[in-house]
Protein backbone atom coordinates (compact mmCIF):
# COMPACT_ATOMS: atom_id res chain seq x y z
CA UNK A 1 0.00 0.00 0.00
CA UNK A 2 1.60 3.22 -1.18
CA UNK A 3 0.67 6.42 0.67
CA UNK A 4 0.92 8.49 -2.51
CA UNK A 5 -1.30 7.52 -5.41
CA UNK A 6 -0.37 8.76 -8.86
CA UNK A 7 -3.87 8.26 -10.24
CA UNK A 8 -5.49 10.27 -7.41
CA UNK A 9 -3.01 13.08 -7.97
CA UNK A 10 -3.83 13.11 -11.69
CA UNK A 11 -7.50 13.30 -10.86
CA UNK A 12 -6.88 16.28 -8.59
CA UNK A 13 -5.39 18.06 -11.60
CA UNK A 14 -8.44 17.26 -13.70
CA UNK A 15 -10.86 18.38 -10.97
CA UNK A 16 -8.70 21.42 -10.18
CA UNK A 17 -8.98 20.77 -6.45
CA UNK A 18 -7.25 18.78 -3.74
CA UNK A 19 -8.67 15.83 -1.83
CA UNK A 20 -6.79 16.23 1.48
CA UNK A 21 -8.85 13.83 3.58
CA UNK A 22 -8.40 11.03 1.06
CA UNK A 23 -4.63 11.55 1.19
CA UNK A 24 -4.62 11.74 5.00
CA UNK A 25 -6.41 8.40 5.26
CA UNK A 26 -3.98 6.80 2.80
CA UNK A 27 -1.04 8.17 4.80
CA UNK A 28 -2.44 6.77 8.05
CA UNK A 29 -3.19 3.43 6.37
CA UNK A 30 0.41 3.14 5.13
CA UNK A 31 1.83 4.08 8.54
CA UNK A 32 -0.44 1.58 10.29
CA UNK A 33 0.49 -1.15 7.83
CA UNK A 34 4.14 -0.70 8.76
CA UNK A 35 3.28 -0.84 12.45
CA UNK A 36 1.16 -3.98 12.04
CA UNK A 37 3.87 -5.76 10.09
CA UNK A 38 6.32 -5.03 12.87
CA UNK A 39 3.92 -6.16 15.62
CA UNK A 40 2.82 -9.36 13.87
CA UNK A 41 6.13 -10.44 12.38
CA UNK A 42 6.47 -14.22 12.58
CA UNK A 43 2.88 -14.82 13.66
CA UNK A 44 1.61 -16.36 10.40
CA UNK A 45 2.12 -20.13 10.00
CA UNK A 46 3.70 -21.57 6.87
CA UNK A 47 0.38 -22.33 5.13
CA UNK A 48 -1.48 -19.17 6.15
CA UNK A 49 -1.54 -15.39 5.75
CA UNK A 50 -2.75 -12.74 8.18
CA UNK A 51 -5.24 -10.84 6.01
CA UNK A 52 -6.90 -7.51 6.81
CA UNK A 53 -10.06 -6.12 5.25
CA UNK A 54 -12.30 -3.05 5.47
CA UNK A 55 -11.23 0.57 5.51
CA UNK A 56 -7.63 -0.33 6.34
CA UNK A 57 -7.24 -2.53 3.25
CA UNK A 58 -8.91 0.14 1.09
CA UNK A 59 -6.42 2.79 2.24
CA UNK A 60 -9.18 4.64 4.11
CA UNK A 61 -8.12 3.97 7.69
CA UNK A 62 -8.91 6.64 10.29
CA UNK A 63 -8.36 6.98 14.03
CA UNK A 64 -11.82 5.54 14.73
CA UNK A 65 -11.54 2.56 12.37
CA UNK A 66 -11.36 -1.01 13.55
CA UNK A 67 -9.07 -3.72 12.22
CA UNK A 68 -10.97 -6.53 10.48
CA UNK A 69 -8.62 -9.46 10.07
CA UNK A 70 -8.48 -13.20 9.66
CA UNK A 71 -5.82 -15.90 9.56
CA UNK A 72 -6.47 -17.28 6.07
CA UNK A 73 -5.40 -20.93 6.00
CA UNK A 74 -4.68 -22.64 2.70
CA UNK A 75 -3.79 -26.07 4.02
CA UNK A 76 -4.91 -28.73 6.43
CA UNK A 77 -6.34 -27.87 9.84
CA UNK A 78 -3.77 -27.58 12.61
CA UNK A 79 -3.95 -26.69 16.31
CA UNK A 80 -1.25 -24.09 15.67
CA UNK A 81 -3.73 -22.01 13.65
CA UNK A 82 -5.95 -21.44 16.69
CA UNK A 83 -2.97 -20.69 18.91
CA UNK A 84 -1.64 -18.16 16.41
CA UNK A 85 -5.07 -16.51 16.14
CA UNK A 86 -5.21 -16.15 19.93
CA UNK A 87 -1.73 -14.63 19.93
CA UNK A 88 -2.65 -12.17 17.15
CA UNK A 89 -5.78 -11.11 19.05
CA UNK A 90 -3.73 -10.51 22.19
CA UNK A 91 -1.09 -8.49 20.35
CA UNK A 92 -3.68 -6.25 18.71
CA UNK A 93 -5.54 -5.77 22.00
CA UNK A 94 -2.34 -4.83 23.82
CA UNK A 95 -1.48 -2.37 21.03
CA UNK A 96 -4.96 -0.84 21.55
CA UNK A 97 -6.26 -1.39 18.06
CA UNK A 98 -10.03 -1.12 17.72
CA UNK A 99 -11.47 -4.68 17.76
CA UNK A 100 -13.35 -5.99 14.71
CA UNK A 101 -17.00 -5.10 14.25
CA UNK A 102 -19.45 -7.60 15.79
CA UNK A 103 -21.21 -7.54 12.42
CA UNK A 104 -18.07 -8.66 10.56
CA UNK A 105 -18.16 -11.78 8.39
CA UNK A 106 -14.70 -13.15 9.16
CA UNK A 107 -13.71 -15.27 12.14
CA UNK A 108 -10.18 -15.24 13.50
CA UNK A 109 -9.42 -18.30 11.35
CA UNK A 110 -10.79 -18.83 7.83
CA UNK A 111 -10.15 -21.67 5.40
CA UNK A 112 -9.69 -21.46 1.66
CA UNK A 113 -11.76 -24.52 0.72
CA UNK A 114 -15.28 -23.00 0.92
CA UNK A 115 -14.14 -19.74 -0.69
CA UNK A 116 -12.80 -21.64 -3.69
CA UNK A 117 -15.08 -24.67 -4.03
CA UNK A 118 -18.47 -23.35 -2.89
CA UNK A 119 -19.18 -20.74 -5.55
CA UNK A 120 -22.93 -20.92 -6.14
CA UNK A 121 -25.27 -23.66 -5.00
CA UNK A 122 -27.02 -24.25 -1.68
CA UNK A 123 -23.82 -24.31 0.36
CA UNK A 124 -22.62 -20.91 -0.83
CA UNK A 125 -24.07 -18.91 2.04
CA UNK A 126 -24.35 -15.11 2.24
CA UNK A 127 -21.39 -15.19 4.60
CA UNK A 128 -19.23 -17.24 2.22
CA UNK A 129 -20.12 -15.05 -0.76
CA UNK A 130 -19.28 -11.90 1.20
CA UNK A 131 -15.96 -13.34 2.38
CA UNK A 132 -15.00 -14.27 -1.18
CA UNK A 133 -15.87 -10.89 -2.68
CA UNK A 134 -14.11 -8.98 0.11
CA UNK A 135 -11.05 -11.18 -0.39
CA UNK A 136 -10.91 -9.96 -3.99
CA UNK A 137 -11.95 -6.32 -3.60
CA UNK A 138 -10.50 -5.21 -0.25
CA UNK A 139 -7.85 -7.41 1.32
CA UNK A 140 -4.14 -7.12 2.12
CA UNK A 141 -1.73 -9.65 3.60
CA UNK A 142 0.16 -8.25 6.59
CA UNK A 143 3.15 -10.59 6.62
CA UNK A 144 3.64 -13.75 4.59
CA UNK A 145 1.54 -13.27 1.47
CA UNK A 146 1.88 -16.62 -0.31
CA UNK A 147 -1.40 -18.12 0.96
CA UNK A 148 -3.30 -14.89 0.29
CA UNK A 149 -1.92 -14.58 -3.24
CA UNK A 150 -2.52 -18.24 -4.01
CA UNK A 151 -6.14 -18.27 -2.80
CA UNK A 152 -6.94 -15.02 -4.61
CA UNK A 153 -5.50 -16.35 -7.87
CA UNK A 154 -7.34 -19.67 -7.52
CA UNK A 155 -10.67 -17.93 -6.86
CA UNK A 156 -10.16 -15.75 -9.94
CA UNK A 157 -9.30 -18.86 -11.98
CA UNK A 158 -12.62 -20.40 -10.89
CA UNK A 159 -14.59 -17.33 -11.98
CA UNK A 160 -12.79 -17.16 -15.35
CA UNK A 161 -12.66 -20.88 -16.17
CA UNK A 162 -16.38 -21.29 -15.42
CA UNK A 163 -17.27 -18.29 -17.63
CA UNK A 164 -18.00 -19.95 -20.98
CA UNK A 165 -19.45 -16.74 -22.38
CA UNK A 166 -16.11 -15.06 -21.81
CA UNK A 167 -13.88 -17.90 -23.01
CA UNK A 168 -15.75 -19.21 -26.04
CA UNK A 169 -18.09 -16.56 -27.40
CA UNK A 170 -16.59 -14.82 -30.46
CA UNK A 171 -19.18 -12.02 -30.53
CA UNK A 172 -19.49 -11.03 -26.88
CA UNK A 173 -17.56 -8.27 -25.20
CA UNK A 174 -14.80 -9.09 -22.72
CA UNK A 175 -16.70 -8.96 -19.42
CA UNK A 176 -16.28 -11.47 -16.61
CA UNK A 177 -19.98 -12.22 -16.21
CA UNK A 178 -19.76 -14.90 -13.52
CA UNK A 179 -17.66 -12.65 -11.29
CA UNK A 180 -19.90 -9.67 -12.05
CA UNK A 181 -23.01 -11.62 -11.06
CA UNK A 182 -21.40 -12.58 -7.75
CA UNK A 183 -20.39 -8.96 -7.04
CA UNK A 184 -23.95 -7.84 -7.76
CA UNK A 185 -25.22 -10.60 -5.45
CA UNK A 186 -22.86 -9.37 -2.73
CA UNK A 187 -24.13 -5.79 -3.07
CA UNK A 188 -27.78 -6.82 -2.89
CA UNK A 189 -27.03 -9.04 0.09
CA UNK A 190 -25.45 -6.31 2.19
CA UNK A 191 -28.21 -3.82 1.35
CA UNK A 192 -30.83 -6.29 2.60
CA UNK A 193 -28.70 -7.22 5.62
CA UNK A 194 -28.53 -3.55 6.54
CA UNK A 195 -32.28 -3.60 7.15
CA UNK A 196 -31.81 -6.49 9.55
CA UNK A 197 -29.08 -4.61 11.43
CA UNK A 198 -31.34 -1.60 11.95
CA UNK A 199 -32.93 -3.55 14.77
CA UNK A 200 -29.70 -3.47 16.78
CA UNK A 201 -29.22 -0.60 19.22
CA UNK A 202 -26.88 2.17 18.10
CA UNK A 203 -24.76 2.83 15.06
CA UNK A 204 -27.52 2.85 12.45
CA UNK A 205 -26.74 6.35 11.11
CA UNK A 206 -23.02 5.70 10.62
CA UNK A 207 -23.75 2.31 9.02
CA UNK A 208 -26.28 3.96 6.72
CA UNK A 209 -23.79 6.56 5.50
CA UNK A 210 -21.05 3.96 5.06
CA UNK A 211 -23.41 1.76 3.05
CA UNK A 212 -24.21 4.63 0.71
CA UNK A 213 -20.59 5.76 0.37
CA UNK A 214 -17.76 3.28 1.02
CA UNK A 215 -19.82 0.10 0.44
CA UNK A 216 -21.35 1.56 -2.72
CA UNK A 217 -17.91 2.58 -3.95
CA UNK A 218 -16.69 -0.97 -3.34
CA UNK A 219 -19.56 -2.32 -5.44
CA UNK A 220 -18.96 0.22 -8.20
CA UNK A 221 -15.24 -0.57 -8.26
CA UNK A 222 -16.05 -4.28 -8.50
CA UNK A 223 -18.19 -3.63 -11.57
CA UNK A 224 -15.35 -1.62 -13.06
CA UNK A 225 -12.93 -4.52 -12.49
CA UNK A 226 -15.30 -6.77 -14.44
CA UNK A 227 -15.54 -4.15 -17.21
CA UNK A 228 -11.77 -3.50 -17.20
CA UNK A 229 -11.01 -6.21 -19.76
CA UNK A 230 -13.12 -4.24 -22.21
CA UNK A 231 -12.21 -0.74 -21.04
CA UNK A 232 -8.45 -1.15 -20.62
CA UNK A 233 -7.37 -4.44 -22.16
CA UNK A 234 -8.95 -4.86 -25.58
CA UNK A 235 -7.11 -7.25 -27.85
CA UNK A 236 -4.82 -8.63 -25.14
CA UNK A 237 -6.56 -11.93 -24.47
CA UNK A 238 -7.19 -13.65 -27.79
CA UNK A 239 -5.01 -16.55 -28.84
CA UNK A 240 -5.18 -18.81 -31.87
CA UNK A 241 -8.56 -19.54 -33.52
CA UNK A 242 -10.34 -16.85 -31.53
CA UNK A 243 -10.22 -18.53 -28.10
CA UNK A 244 -9.37 -16.58 -24.96
CA UNK A 245 -6.23 -17.08 -22.87
CA UNK A 246 -7.72 -17.65 -19.41
CA UNK A 247 -4.39 -17.40 -17.60
CA UNK A 248 -3.74 -13.99 -19.17
CA UNK A 249 -7.21 -12.80 -18.13
CA UNK A 250 -6.54 -13.85 -14.52
CA UNK A 251 -3.19 -12.05 -14.47
CA UNK A 252 -4.82 -8.91 -15.85
CA UNK A 253 -7.62 -9.01 -13.26
CA UNK A 254 -5.12 -9.64 -10.47
CA UNK A 255 -3.21 -6.50 -11.39
CA UNK A 256 -6.43 -4.47 -11.55
CA UNK A 257 -7.38 -5.68 -8.07
CA UNK A 258 -4.13 -4.36 -6.64
CA UNK A 259 -5.64 -0.89 -7.04
CA UNK A 260 -7.85 0.32 -4.21
CA UNK A 261 -11.58 0.82 -4.93
CA UNK A 262 -11.03 4.59 -4.95
CA UNK A 263 -8.16 4.25 -7.43
CA UNK A 264 -10.34 2.05 -9.65
CA UNK A 265 -12.92 4.83 -9.72
CA UNK A 266 -10.30 7.53 -10.31
CA UNK A 267 -8.95 5.74 -13.38
CA UNK A 268 -12.41 5.75 -14.93
CA UNK A 269 -13.02 9.38 -13.95
CA UNK A 270 -9.88 10.28 -15.91
CA UNK A 271 -11.55 9.14 -19.15
CA UNK A 272 -12.05 12.11 -21.50
CA UNK A 273 -15.80 11.49 -21.62
CA UNK A 274 -16.18 12.16 -17.87
CA UNK A 275 -16.52 15.85 -17.03
CA UNK A 276 -14.58 17.69 -14.33
CA UNK A 277 -17.92 18.47 -12.67
CA UNK A 278 -18.73 14.78 -12.34
CA UNK A 279 -15.24 14.11 -11.04
CA UNK A 280 -15.75 16.69 -8.32
CA UNK A 281 -19.12 15.23 -7.41
CA UNK A 282 -17.78 11.71 -6.98
CA UNK A 283 -14.41 12.26 -5.33
CA UNK A 284 -15.24 15.62 -3.76
CA UNK A 285 -18.18 14.13 -1.89
CA UNK A 286 -16.09 11.12 -0.95
CA UNK A 287 -13.34 13.36 0.41
CA UNK A 288 -15.96 15.19 2.51
CA UNK A 289 -17.26 11.81 3.73
CA UNK A 290 -13.70 10.89 4.76
CA UNK A 291 -13.53 14.17 6.68
CA UNK A 292 -16.59 13.16 8.71
CA UNK A 293 -15.45 9.63 9.55
CA UNK A 294 -11.96 10.94 10.40
CA UNK A 295 -13.41 13.31 13.00
CA UNK A 296 -13.84 11.34 16.23
CA UNK A 297 -16.57 13.62 17.57
CA UNK A 298 -18.61 13.48 14.36
CA UNK A 299 -18.13 9.74 14.03
CA UNK A 300 -19.27 9.23 17.63
CA UNK A 301 -22.23 11.54 17.08
CA UNK A 302 -23.48 9.51 14.13
CA UNK A 303 -22.86 6.24 15.96
CA UNK A 304 -25.00 7.38 18.89
CA UNK A 305 -27.72 9.20 16.95
CA UNK A 306 -31.18 7.93 17.96
CA UNK A 307 -33.36 6.80 15.10
CA UNK A 308 -36.16 9.20 16.01
CA UNK A 309 -33.79 12.22 15.89
CA UNK A 310 -32.48 11.89 12.36
CA UNK A 311 -34.80 14.45 10.74
CA UNK A 312 -33.61 17.25 13.08
CA UNK A 313 -29.89 16.46 13.13
CA UNK A 314 -27.59 18.81 11.18
CA UNK A 315 -24.70 16.37 10.83
CA UNK A 316 -26.99 13.62 9.57
CA UNK A 317 -28.40 16.01 6.97
CA UNK A 318 -24.88 17.01 5.92
CA UNK A 319 -23.81 13.40 5.55
CA UNK A 320 -26.99 12.45 3.70
CA UNK A 321 -26.52 15.30 1.24
CA UNK A 322 -23.05 13.93 0.48
CA UNK A 323 -24.58 10.54 -0.34
CA UNK A 324 -26.97 12.22 -2.80
CA UNK A 325 -24.13 14.11 -4.50
CA UNK A 326 -22.06 10.92 -4.67
CA UNK A 327 -24.97 9.01 -6.23
CA UNK A 328 -25.57 11.78 -8.75
CA UNK A 329 -21.92 11.58 -9.79
CA UNK A 330 -22.11 7.80 -10.15
CA UNK A 331 -25.23 8.16 -12.29
CA UNK A 332 -23.27 10.44 -14.62
CA UNK A 333 -20.39 7.94 -14.85
CA UNK A 334 -22.37 4.73 -15.29
CA UNK A 335 -25.40 5.90 -17.28
CA UNK A 336 -24.94 9.28 -18.94
CA UNK A 337 -21.51 10.67 -19.82
CA UNK A 338 -19.59 7.63 -21.06
CA UNK A 339 -21.44 5.68 -23.79
CA UNK A 340 -19.11 2.67 -23.54
CA UNK A 341 -19.61 2.24 -19.79
CA UNK A 342 -23.36 2.87 -20.11
CA UNK A 343 -23.57 0.17 -22.78
CA UNK A 344 -21.74 -2.34 -20.56
CA UNK A 345 -24.03 -1.57 -17.63
CA UNK A 346 -27.14 -2.07 -19.77
CA UNK A 347 -25.88 -5.28 -21.33
CA UNK A 348 -24.32 -6.95 -18.28
CA UNK A 349 -25.40 -5.09 -15.12
CA UNK A 350 -29.17 -5.22 -15.56
CA UNK A 351 -30.29 -8.20 -17.60
pLDDT at 116 over 80: yes
- The CATH fold assigned to 17-162 is Beta Polymerase; domain 2 (3.30.460)
Helix ranges restricted to H, the chain: 6-15, 20-39, 54-57, 79-94, 112-117, 126-137, 146-161, 164-168, 177-197, 204-210, 216-232, 246-257, 261-269, 276-279, 285-294, 296-304, 314-331, 339-344
Q: How confident is the model at residue 3 (pLDDT cuts 50, 70, 90)?
A: low
Give pLDDT tens digits for 194-220.
Answer: 887 765 556 789 999 999 999 999 999
* pLDDT at 164 > cutoff 90: no
CA dist 247 and 161 (Å) reads: 9
- How, if at all, do strands 48-53 and 140-141 pair? antiparallel
Q: What is the pLDDT, as a whole number, of residue 267?
A: 95
Q: What is the pTM of this model?
A: 0.93
Q: How far apart are CA 89 and CA 95, in angstroms?
A: 10
Do the beta carbons of residue 319 and residue 326 sit within 8 Å? no
Cα end-to-end span (Å), the chain: 36
Query: What pLDDT shows up at residue 26?
Result: 95
Mean pLDDT for the stretch of residues 311-319 = 93
Q: What is the mean pLDDT of residues 322-351?
A: 95
> Regarding predicted confidence, which is higher, 78 or 262?
262
Confidence of residue 150 (pLDDT cuts 50, 70, 90): very high
Q: Please report, for residues 93, 145, 228, 271, 334, the alpha-carbon distance to residue 343 in angstroms, rounded to integers and kept in the order given.
A: 49, 37, 14, 15, 9
HSE-up of residue 41 (Cα within 13 Å, Cβ side): 5
Query: What are the structural domain ranges in the chain?
Result: 17-162, 169-351
> Average pLDDT in the 240-260 region?
86
Amino acid sequence: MEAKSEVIQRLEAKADRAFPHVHAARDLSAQTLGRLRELLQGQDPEDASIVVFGSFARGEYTAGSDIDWTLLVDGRADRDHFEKAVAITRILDEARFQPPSPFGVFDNVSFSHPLLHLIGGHDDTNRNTTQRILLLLESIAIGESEAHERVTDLVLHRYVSDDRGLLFSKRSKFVTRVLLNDIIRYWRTITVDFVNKQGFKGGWALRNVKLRMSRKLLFASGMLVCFSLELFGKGEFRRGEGSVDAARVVRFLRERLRLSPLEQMCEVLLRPSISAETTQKVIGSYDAFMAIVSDEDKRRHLSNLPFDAFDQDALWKEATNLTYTFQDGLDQVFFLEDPEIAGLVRQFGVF
